[in-house]
Structure 1
């Protein structure tokens, strides 16, 4: 296999995991609940691939003759955040979760941050990103103090109005926080959350940036790059892996831009991996409990699947999966601990049920075998079951 196109439909979970009760996520089913809540909703191209044939996906219509292999995966690492999910699918299984701060950050952390940036801060409590800028945006504009907040995830988020704190300054503040948020305070991500507008009508912009911890072990991306192949990151992939293992990277403004950039890389016909994250499902709709918006975004991406398939070469493999859930139909606005759907398509792929995988790392292990790389430290490949005999 020469090239894998790997698309992460961020937060599109497909049902609660067995340990969901430990995370307060019983009843979460991002895809299933959207189908149940939106009359006549369908994703014809993903369904044709076998989305509704996945075990337990009872709310989604099954395809008589699916064109792809299909299944779902449990998550072995503790947690339900972006970094944990992406690291696990590329071979890193965490033994303990990244730290969270349900009561806000200790004062020594806030004081250290303020001293380093030379400004006071406001906030320092868990909140929805859209709510906190409405609550504190006016004060921020009057004082110039950045808004610091967190969520149920392992994140240190800094919100600032682009007209008050320039984008480059906000990114610098995030880099400063990233430098000392290590060890017991080592959050998975420091996130820049810029916004614009006036009190009562603030809007977050697409200039968000994530500053992740550097992966603690070699990942699939490192292995591919070491083999002299290209690793092309689209969207926040570069941020999630702290730039490690990538040969090319491009950020995106929204899901459609992510598809466009993926297609641009496909047209370059470079061997290796095109690794795309479509984040709008999570950041724009899931965290805001916008069921209709989430459904519309899914339909928009579904309509563009044929464009990707039409560009695929004989040896290309397309893999579509999620990284966690974020059910917009539940009371929670946080991520949800869910199975992730997996779809694998290619001209040499035999459509079949790959079952329920024990770990996201099986996906990375499978890609590693497709590309004939050294075996990863975690995960069991199912590549040999999928490939048609030459």
Structure 2
């Protein structure tokens, strides 16, 4: 095509919105998981999502308060993610054309001693702890020692994450960021594919009142170019809002931000004149409701976002395309605090799209990325995923 059919594409990831366990869910300890279904069981008729219903969500997963429609106003379907894991990084890399087919490294009993020694030499600061625990245990068991000695607490958890912890009186935000980046480089140079190096500052003067006050994350970077890189190389604008910016190394995690602020940032982006892509991840669903297994909060926030999405849609231009999707499940009624392997919804709409169609099940989130590249005339034989652009033109 001479020019893109859609000048601007807006991808909105409704983080953690799964719509039922996939056939391989048992391999992810997710048998029977159903985020939307269990929200429905909790809320019953109270769960009202008219905007998402109009786009086909009720057809993909009918609920008591959201039955299917005869003709939703969108092209819709569901996606079976294909990556070997269900982390933030894996889902977003997959969506941008790089599915993860090998498991990341996990340090079961702490960071290898050789890595720790190298790290101490580089930053000229001692390290204390270095075992497997969670943040609460780290503060309770080593917080006072850290405050007295200024040694960095280092620990690992059950995921592919290494944590660095220091009191705000012993380290600044800038130094914490420097330490995380240094450890990330050491791990990368040693060939360890660790998903995140998280740095935490904490406040308080006694064990009873220690609490985290700042968080920085240094993520594993993509091993190859993504569709974001391809778009930029061809002079298209790429903007990322929320968790997506952090995952691709263009922003740090700030838990003070929330879905409302990210949607406000999206509103501002819509007012700008550009050709390209904007990706927004509404990550509050994950860390505030899914991981905390809070169905009441999850469903209430979903209804607030649904109302806001109706306003977003009204602001789109005739040559805009909006893609609403998820990344994984996070069933708030499921045991534990981890993501669940589920199908995720796909709902696509544009003011110029006058069709209602249910797509066949997509076998990878990368189909979204392939469709974006196809729209901008940049898809190649090596592009991972299958474009569904022909259903949108």
Query: TM-score with structure 2 length normalisation?
Result: 0.87
Select which of 9, 17, 39 maps to 1:4. Answer: 9
List per-residue Cα deviations over 1:233-263 (Å, max 9, x = no partner).
11232331234xxxxx797622111111111
Q: Which stretch of structure 1 is more off in the superposition, 82-91 or 70-79?
A: 70-79
Structure 1 alignment gaps of length 5 or more: 244-248
The 5-angstrom pairing of residues 40-59 of structure 1 reads 40-54=46-60
- Contact map agreement 2:85 2:100 (CA 8 A) in 1: no
List per-residue Cα deviations over 1:15-47 (Å, max 9, x = no partner).
222222222221222222222223422322222
User: Structure 1's 258 and 78: CA in aligned 2 closer, same or farther, altered over 3 A?
Assistant: same
- Contact map agreement 1:14 1:57 (CA 8 A) in 2: no
The 5-angstrom pairing of residues 127-146 of structure 1 reads 127=134, 129=135, 133=139, 137=143, 140-146=146-152
CA distance in 2, matches of 1:113, 1:220: 34
Q: Which stretch of structure 1 is more off in the superposition, 270-279 or 137-146?
A: 137-146
CA distance in 2, matches of 1:136, 1:351: 58
C-alpha displacement of 1:297 = 2.5
User: Structure 1's 227 and 133: CA in aligned 2 closer, same or farther, altered over 3 A?
Assistant: same
The 5-angstrom pairing of residues 153-192 of structure 1 reads 153-182=159-188, 184-192=191-199
C-alpha displacement of 1:322 = 1.7
C-alpha displacement of 1:123 = 5.6
User: Structure 1's 190 and 10: CA in aligned 2 closer, same or farther, altered over 3 A?
Assistant: farther
User: Structure 1's 131 and 371: CA in aligned 2 closer, same or farther, altered over 3 A?
Assistant: farther
- Contact map agreement 2:216 2:252 (CA 8 A) in 1: no
User: Structure 1's 106 and 90: CA in aligned 2 closer, same or farther, altered over 3 A?
Assistant: same
Q: Which stretch of structure 1 is more off in the superposition, 265-274 or 282-291?
A: 282-291
- Contact map agreement 1:3 1:371 (CA 8 A) in 2: no
Q: Compute the RMSD of aligned alpha carbons.
A: 2.6
List per-residue Cα deviations over 1:126-184 (Å, max 9, x = no partner).
53x56755665555445444443444432223344445432112111110111012255
The 5-angstrom pairing of residues 161-310 of structure 1 reads 161-182=167-188, 184-196=191-203, 199-200=207-208, 204-205=212-213, 207-243=214-250, 253-310=257-314
C-alpha displacement of 1:276 = 1.2
- Contact map agreement 1:80 1:337 (CA 8 A) in 2: yes
- Contact map agreement 2:47 2:65 (CA 8 A) in 1: no
Structure 2 alignment gaps of length 5 or more: 1-5
Aligned pair count reads: 379
List per-residue Cα deviations over 1:171-212 (Å, max 9, x = no partner).
11110111012255211222234444564455545x533322
C-alpha displacement of 1:281 = 1.3
CA distance in 2, matches of 1:152, 1:69: 39
Query: TM-score with structure 1 length normalisation?
Result: 0.87
Largest Rg, 1 or 2 = 2
Name 2:361's counterpart in structure 1. Answer: 356
CA distance in 2, matches of 1:114, 1:36: 51
- Contact map agreement 1:74 1:339 (CA 8 A) in 2: yes
CA distance in 2, matches of 1:131, 1:323: 30
- Contact map agreement 1:17 1:337 (CA 8 A) in 2: yes
The yes-or-no answer on 1:83 pairing with 2:65 is no
